[in-house]
Amino acid sequence: MANPLDKFELGIRKLIEDLMIERMGDNDKIVTRYMADQEFQGSAFPILAREIFEAVKSKAAGAQNVAKGMVPNADA
């Protein structure tokens, strides 16, 4: 992936907020704290962004390997 993590964070902030609101019914306390507590959000956001960034990078690398015919060995 071409975007470094810091640029990725700029684009993902709104998506994380939207997902938090969408999940509010499942865990009202954590979502309310994330949205209302700037210190908590400041601590949680970089962790969430990095996890999403790494997952996207991993999926993209896997897709590239499959496209190149480099399918991982299931026996390994």
Token pair recorded at residue 35 = 């949205």
Query: Distance from CA of residue 66 to its chain's centroid?
Result: 22
Domain extents for the chain? Answer: 5-67
Read off the pLDDT of residues 10-30 as tens digits, 9 standing for 90 and up: 889 999 999 889 988 898 999
Interior angle at CA 64, CA 67 and CA 73, nearest 5: 75
pTM of the model: 0.68
For the cut 90, the answer to whether the pLDDT of residue 1 exceeds it is: no
